[in-house]
């Protein structure tokens, strides 16, 4: 019972944090609220924070399913048509992130590995988990960098695209989307089985963050083929965010936050530079393709698919193009960046010896 109570206590604290963020209408309320709550609980109240592998992995499976079913046939067609642009803009954004990381290293004095993973424009949870898997990476710093980057993008990008220069568009996406409500019972069972089997195979194949990547691949294949996925119940989405927030919050080490003022200023400056770089890339993209600046900017902005998609819908940008670019970057960073970084860091370590 003594082992159970700290976990229940942690979940209750995380739930209260998520609930408070929800009432305040803050973005990603359940995950960010849970994360902040458990960090404060550990830092201020000096209490133990407990995260179980099964809840963390379950949360990743649910999020992986959500990402996988967003990969429709229409999105695939758009990605094929604009593949050269997607590849080029992703490489440019990673290069800008690398340059910004050099600034962070000199300004704050942390390792390049930590700064680079912290500024990498991938998913928040994916980059934190990647930092956890790499040696000599300060997961606390990576978590804070990714958190500041995420919040900066979520709040600043919608404000930027409201400027007439960006939002003056008459684009209407001609591609359709699936309707998860119309999925049959057999399709529901099929996607549950596919999600479980693809997670198992990803673990056996030693893929990066397998409980996330496996469902993305498996579900994406079946959606593209023509099967109709189903909506995940709201309470499961909330639970996934809470348990992921707990896991990430547990990794934050308060003892490493002594220079938080310098750290925060440096991270904000770095995020601002990264957004300016994104605008430059968007201008180049609009020059090559007949799309609006708003669509180009949201396609290359270092944010999440959901947040950028909602913003695109609000200003009338092309949802299919935005989703295609965002998905390509996530897949590119998930599959290609981790092994490349591991190889580079190993070479660097060998040369250091």
Most confident segment among 122-126, 175-179, 246-250 = 246-250
More confident call, 123 vs 352: 123
Most confident segment among 40-44, 105-109, 174-178, 324-328 = 40-44
> Measuring CA to CA, how many Å separate 238 from each of 136, 242, 250?
32, 6, 18
Say what the pLDDT of residue 167 is.
54
Integer Cα distance of 55 and 51 in angstroms = 7
- The structure's pTM equals 0.71
Is 41 in the same domain as 186? no
Is 37 in the same domain as 57? no
3-state secondary structure of 121: coil
2: how many CB neighbours lie within 10 A of its CB?
5
Question: Residue 306 pLDDT > 80, yes or no?
Answer: no
Confidence of residue 310 (pLDDT cuts 50, 70, 90): low
Question: Residue 352 pLDDT > 60, yes or no?
Answer: no
Say what the pLDDT of residue 175 is.
39
DSSP annotation of 232 reads P
Is 23 in the same domain as 63? no
Contacting residues for 317 by C-beta, under 8 A, at least 6 apart: 161, 169, 171, 292, 294, 295, 298, 311
Confidence of residue 245 (pLDDT cuts 50, 70, 90): confident
Which of 18-22, 170-174, 198-202 is predicted with the least confidence, judged by mean pLDDT? 170-174
Is 46 in the same domain as 59? no
Is 123 in the same domain as 135? yes
Question: Residue 239 pLDDT > 60, yes or no?
Answer: yes
Q: Which residues of 103-115 are buried (b: 16+ CB within 10 A; e: fewer)?
A: ebbebbebeebbb
3-state secondary structure of 136: coil
Contacting residues for 39 by C-beta, under 8 A, at least 6 apart: 249, 252, 254
Is 179 in the same domain as 233? yes
Domain final residue, candidates 50, 67, 84: 50
Most confident segment among 68-77, 203-212, 281-290 = 281-290
More confident call, 20 vs 66: 20
Q: What is the mean pLDDT of residues 119-128?
A: 74
Is 303 in the same domain as 348? yes
Is 294 in the same domain as 172? yes
Number of domains in the chain: 2
Which of 162-171, 303-312, 340-349 is predicted with the least confidence, judged by mean pLDDT? 162-171
Confidence of residue 326 (pLDDT cuts 50, 70, 90): confident
**Nearest CA among 119, 335, 117, 324 for reference residue 212:** 335
Whether the CA torsion 63, 145, 319, 73 is positive or negative: it is negative
More confident call, 277 vs 174: 277
The boundaries of the domain holding residue 189 are 51-352
The rounded percent of the chain whose pLDDT value lies above 70 is: 80
Is 168 in the same domain as 30? no
More confident call, 263 vs 80: 80
Distance of CA 202 to the CA centre of its chain: 19
Where helices occur in the chain by DSSP H, the ranges are 4-23, 29-43, 53-69, 73-81, 83-108, 112-119, 124-133, 139-161, 164-167, 185-204, 210-225, 234-251, 260-288, 293-300, 305-315, 319-335, 337-352
More confident call, 4 vs 79: 79
Is 313 in the same domain as 261? yes
Is 216 in the same domain as 146? yes
346, exposed or middle or buried, with CB in 10 Å at 0-12, 13-18, 19+? exposed
Q: Are 202 and 210 in contact (CB under 8 A)?
A: yes
Integer Cα distance of 178 and 14 in angstroms = 33
Is 267 in the same domain as 307? yes
């Amino acid at each position: 019972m003594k082992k159970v109570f700290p976990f229940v206590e942690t979940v209750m604290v995380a739930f209260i944090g998520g609930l408070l963020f929800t009432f305040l209408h803050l973005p990603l309320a359940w995950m960010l609220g849970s994360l902040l709550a458990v960090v404060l609980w550990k830092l201020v109240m000096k209490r133990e924070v407990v995260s179980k592998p099964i809840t963390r992995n379950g949360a990743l499976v649910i999020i992986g399913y959500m990402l996988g079913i967003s990969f429709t046939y229409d999105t695939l067609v758009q990605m094929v048509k604009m593949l050269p642009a997607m590849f080029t803009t992703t490489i440019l954004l990673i290069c800008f992130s690398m340059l910004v990381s050099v600034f962070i290293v000199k300004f704050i004095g942390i390792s390049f590995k930590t700064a680079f993973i912290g500024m990498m424009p991938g998913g928040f949870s994916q980059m934190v988990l990647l930092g956890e898997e790499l040696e000599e990476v300060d997961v606390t710093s990576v978590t804070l960098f990714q958190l500041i980057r995420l919040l900066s993008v979520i709040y600043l990008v919608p404000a930027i695209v409201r400027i007439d220069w960006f939002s003056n568009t008459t684009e209407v996406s001609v591609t359709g989307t699936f309707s998860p409500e119309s999925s049959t019972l057999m399709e529901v069972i099929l996607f549950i089985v596919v999600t479980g089997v693809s997670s198992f195979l990803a673990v056996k194949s030693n893929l990066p963050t397998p409980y996330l990547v496996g469902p993305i691949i498996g579900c994406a294949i079946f959606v593209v083929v023509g099967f109709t996925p189903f909506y995940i119940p709201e309470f499961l989405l909330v639970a996934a965010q809470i348990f992921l927030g707990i896991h990430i919050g547990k990794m934050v080490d308060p003892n490493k936050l002594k220079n938080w003022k310098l750290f925060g200023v440096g991270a904000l400056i770095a995020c601002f530079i990264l957004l300016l770089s994104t605008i430059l890339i968007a201008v180049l993209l609009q020059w090559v393709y007949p799309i609006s600046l708003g669509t180009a900017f949201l396609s290359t902005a270092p944010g999440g698919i959901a947040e950028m998609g909602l913003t695109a819908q609000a200003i009338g940008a092309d949802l299919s193009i935005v989703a295609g670019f965002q998905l390509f970057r996530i897949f590119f960073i998930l599959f290609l960046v981790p092994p490349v970084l591991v190889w580079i860091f190993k070479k660097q370590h060998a040369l250091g010896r």
